[in-house]
Structures are given as structure tokens and as C-alpha cells.
Amino acid sequence: MKRLLSVFAFATAFVFCAWGQQNADNPVLMTVAGKPVTRAEFEYAYNKNNNIEGAVENKTVEEYAEMFLNYKLKVAEAESQRIDTLTSFITEFRSYRDMQLTPHLVDQTYIDSIARSLYDKQVERIAGRDLIDCSHILLLVKQTDSDDVKKRVEERADSIYNALCGGADFATLAKTLSQDPGSAARGGKLPTIYPGMTIKEFEDAAYALQPNQFCRPFLSTIGYHIILVHDRKQFEPYETLYPIIIENLKRQNIEEASAKAKIEKMMAQTGKTREEILLNTLAEQEKNNPELKYLVQEYYDGLLLYEVANKRVWSAAEQDINGLKQTFKKNKKKYRWEEPRYNGYIVYAKDDESAVKTVKLLKKGVPEGKKVSEYLKETINKDSVVVIVTGPYLAKKGENSTIDNLGFGDTSREIKPVRKTFNHIMLTGRRQKQPKTYLDVKQQVLTDYQQELEKIWVKELREKFPYSINYDVLKTVNKH
């Protein structure tokens, strides 16, 4: 019972938000299944779609009104089926709505306090010491290496040091000789270091250097290092680093965390639920931002429409094999090809025997419900993969080089193997002048059948639900 009441409260509150501000400046343009649609909502949809190339196909306001009416009728049908009360629908809708409301709930004081806290912790960690920009060359030494190995690595490190003393370029040597793959590609360049960031031996050696100085090789727990210091600087003031800290926090979703904290604070202060606070926020924001109102309404309607249309038209058409066959039969002339297609598979085999065997097998047909790869694994490729098959294809000349050569006899086109060892290539299938079944032009047939079901559905909806359009108001769209 509680669940039903909460769903009803949600629906009622949302409808209240969606129907607000119906006045002389925003008259009702149409009524669908008892619900008013204002001129402003219609204008939002019309202008938004009119700015997307091809979306409304240069339709007039009157033509678009008919489309919008059909859209709202489908939404009414979804509501009559109580799709809007499903937990899955409510969860998805609220997730989107909350995402739109997040920018309006951001608490900058909360974000600034996090930024200041991070800065202060870093200041404490640095303890007044410099930040160092440096590069290094690393020669790895394992703890288990013998003394002879360690000695040879030490000698290599000394020779690099001597080369640097002789004027060799540090970055060039780092790129070619350093065994730290992360920094070697950047000429040995490391991220800015500060106290406590790296191992003690490295930190001590780095802080003993001044800008443009490099050290003698020294041994750490991972190997021999040579460090070149580029610059030393004091930690910058909070005001200077603030934009960088904020940008990093935004990448870590601080605004969402801030909004969540603000909502929890408001819940504690007012005793209201999270949902009540979000609905109040939406209503408040809509007063000054009508587009937010219609954006949220659009998503609400769109979710409903998708669910009901998928069930009534899109999936229904895909699953109705008999309907697809009848559509193909009625419109055969429409689906005629101007040039033939090759319908079949390309067989790539390691030897002629496997290729011929596979062609014979596929001519008998792949068992219904099985993929070609599964069928071959049960037959030809039991012990090892000796054959690879791609397809099925329905290709006209120019779409596939191998089919052009083997299927259409165009020797100027290259036969392309999928792998070097699978170079025995054959086709299995047939060349067709025209489509034989709906499967040969399935996407076209499916689209046509869906459009046919759509027309029938819209006719039913117009008979089922009351509706009206105020044509006097329609004439004022974008003209007031």
C-alpha cells in the first residue's frame, strides 16, 4: 500500500510541475486524453526539432502539430497501461531528472572547503620545503643479483655519468639507456616531486641538488639513478592553485557529491524526504527556466513512448515473421534491385580439402538457431581451427573485393585472406538478380512493416482517446 501511495504522490507531483503556468501568456494549444499541452511546450518541441537538420522535414507548424498530437496520444496510451508506475521507469526517469537538477543543487561552500582541506594537507606534507622538477636515468638492479652483475651495472652508470660530464645531452641518454619505461620516453622527465612522494635515497639526492645540477650515480632499492634537477620552487599560494584544484575535483564528480551533501543537509533541516526536496527544487527552477521544465517533460514522455512503441510496433514487427513475409509479397516491385547481389559465405581454409568439405557442408545449410562458427566447431574444426568462414553476405559488385573476384569474375579485384595460413579461399552461395525472400531485404521490409503498424496504431489511438487542437492558438506559434 505504501508503495502505491508513493507512486501516486510521485505522479501527482510531477503532473503538477508539468502543467504549471497555464495562463494568457501561455495558452493551451491542444488537449490530449484530458491533459493540456501549452503553446510554450509545443514551441519548445517544434523549435528544438526544427533546428536538427531533417528532423521535421521542413514541416509547417500545422503539420508538426499532427505529429505532436500522435506523440502525445502514444504517451497517453503508455500511461493507460500504467508504465509510468513501474519501478524500472520511475528509477530511470528520476536518475535523469536528478542529473538535470545537480547543477542547481551544487554547494560551492562545500566544494571550497574540500579544496582548502586538500591544499592544507599538501602544505603540511611539504613542510615548507621546495617542489622539485627533475629527470632521472635508471639502471635496474635486482636485490637477488650477484655482486658481479651489480658491479657491471655500476660501471655502466659511471660511464653514463662521465658522458654527461663531457657534455652529452641528458634527455637523449635517458631515452636510449634508462630502464624506467614511464619516464624514458619523456627524456627521463618525472612529475614534480615533494617530500614523502618517493623513496628516501632518491629524495635525499634530489634535494641536495640545485637547478641545472646532476648527481653522481647512487644506488637505491631498485637500481642506480642519476638525477638532473631542472627547477626548485616554493609551493604556490592557495589562490593561485585554486582553479587547478577545482578542475581536478570536478573531474572526480565533486559537484555530484556536493549536491548529495546539500540534499542530506536539507533533509535533516526540514524533515522532508529526498524526493520531496528534489520536486520542490524542480518546481522552483522551472519558474525561471521553462526550458528545464520542458526538457524533463520531454524525457518523461520519451521514456513512456519508447516502452509502449517498442511493444506495439518495433519489437512486434520484428517478431511477426508472417507479417514481414506478407509485406514483402505486397511490395515486391519496391524491393527490386538494379544490379545483382552475391548471397553466401567466404570460406578461408588451410588446405583445399578442408575448403571443399566446408563448401559442401554449407550448401546443405546451417542448422536454424546456430552460428556458422558454432556449426564449424562441431564439424570441421573439431580438433583444431582449419577453416574460417565469414558472412553471410548479400553484396553487390564493389562492396567486397574477394566477392568481386570470385563471385562476379572481376580479376582486377584482390582476393584478400583473413590470415596468412588460411590462403585457400572459396565462395559458397549464389548470385541473385532479385531478392528471393524478405530476408534478402529485411531492413527495408521491417521498416515498411513498422510504418504500417504505426499507422494502424495511431488510428486506434485517435479513436480511443479524446483530443482537440486550438487552431487559433496554433496560428500564434512563434508569433507572439
Residues 311-336 have pLDDT tens digits of 999 999 999 999 999 999 999 999 99
Residues of the chain within CATH 3.10.50.40 domain(s) are 129-233
Nearest 5 degrees, angle CA 393-CA 394-CA 396?
120
- Is the domain covering 129-233 a CATH 3.10.50.40 domain? yes
- Return d(Cα 413, Cα 405) in angstroms, integer: 5
pLDDT above 90 covers a percentage of the chain that reads 80
Q: What is the CA radius of gyration of the chain?
A: 35
Average confidence (pLDDT) over 350-355: 93
All cell numbers assigned to 311: 511493444
Which has more confidence, 17 or 326? 326
The reported pLDDT for the residue numbered 308 is 96
All cell numbers assigned to 315: 519489437
Q: Which pairs from 422-425 meet CB under 8 Å and 24+ separation?
A: 422/348, 422/349, 422/350, 422/387, 422/388, 423/348, 424/348, 424/349, 424/350, 424/351, 424/352, 424/354, 424/355, 425/346, 425/347, 425/348, 425/349, 425/355
Q: Give the model's confidence band at 25: pLDDT under 50 very low, under 70 low, under 90 confident, else very high.
A: confident
- Return d(Cα 279, Cα 285) in angstroms, integer: 10
The reported pLDDT for the residue numbered 57 is 58
The reported pLDDT for the residue numbered 383 is 86
Could you tell me the pTM of the whole model?
0.68
Is it the case that residue 18 has pLDDT exceeding 60?
A: no
pLDDT tens column, 258-302 = 999 999 999 999 999 999 999 999 999 988 888 899 999 999 999
Q: Give the model's confidence band at 6: pLDDT under 50 very low, under 70 low, under 90 confident, else very high.
A: very low
- Tally of residues, the chain: 480
The reported pLDDT for the residue numbered 368 is 84
Contact 154, 217 (CB under 8 A): yes
Average confidence (pLDDT) over 455-476: 96
